[in-house]
């Protein structure tokens, strides 16, 4: 295994883990109060604010699995970059306190964007 391949696999498993964990723990096993707060802050009704995390959790877990399966393709990493940037902007607009709080969306979202970019660079070298 080359260093490039090793770096790509580290990125792949790290990104997949984040999607799988974030889909399962704060959403499908919850939903966590922070998830509900952000949805209500975006103007959703209580019923919708409660349903959205479940749908989001399923999509996040699906993307985690797709990254594991289609890691040789570029699109899962591109989707991750776009999703993380969109989620970061939405968080900044509707729940700005989460961009500076402990374990905040700034560090997680932008780190996943960076890992995805590294994966894309590694794919070009393979």
DSSP assignment of 94-119 = H-GGGGTSTT-HHHHHHHHHHHHHHH
State what percent of residues in the chain have pLDDT above 90.
90
pLDDT for the residue numbered 71: 85
Tokens of 89: 């902007």
Residues 13-65: pLDDT tens digits?
A: 999 999 999 999 999 998 999 999 999 999 999 999 999 999 999 999 999 99
The parent domain of residue 85 ranges over: 3-125
Q: What are phi and psi of 95, to 5 degrees?
A: -145, 65
Close Cβ partners of 91 (under 8 Å, ≥ 6 residues apart)? 38, 98, 99, 105, 109
Q: How many domains does the chain have?
A: 1
pLDDT at 102 over 80: yes
Question: What's the longest Cα–Cα distance across the chain?
Answer: 51
Q: What pTM does this model have?
A: 0.93
Mean pLDDT value across the chain: 95
Q: Cβ(18)–Cβ(108) under 8 Å?
A: yes
Q: What integer is the mean pLDDT of 63-90?
A: 96
In 3D space, the residue among 48, 44, 32, 47 whose CA is nearest the CA of residue 98 turns out to be 32
pLDDT at 126 over 80: no
């Amino acid at each position: 295994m080359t260093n490039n391949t090793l770096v790509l696999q580290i990125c792949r498993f790290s990104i997949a883990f984040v999607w799988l964990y974030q889909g399962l723990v704060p959403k499908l096993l919850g939903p966590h109060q922070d998830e509900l707060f952000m949805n209500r802050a975006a103007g959703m009704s209580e019923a919708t604010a409660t349903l959205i995390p479940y749908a989001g959790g399923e999509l996040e877990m699906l993307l985690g699995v797709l990254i594991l399966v289609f890691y040789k393709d570029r699109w899962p990493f591109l989707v991750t970059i776009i999703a993380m940037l969109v989620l970061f902007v939405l968080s900044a607009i509707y729940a700005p306190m989460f961009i500076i709080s402990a374990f905040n969306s700034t560090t997680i979202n932008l780190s996943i964007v960076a890992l995805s970019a590294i994966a894309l660079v590694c794919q070009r070298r393979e």
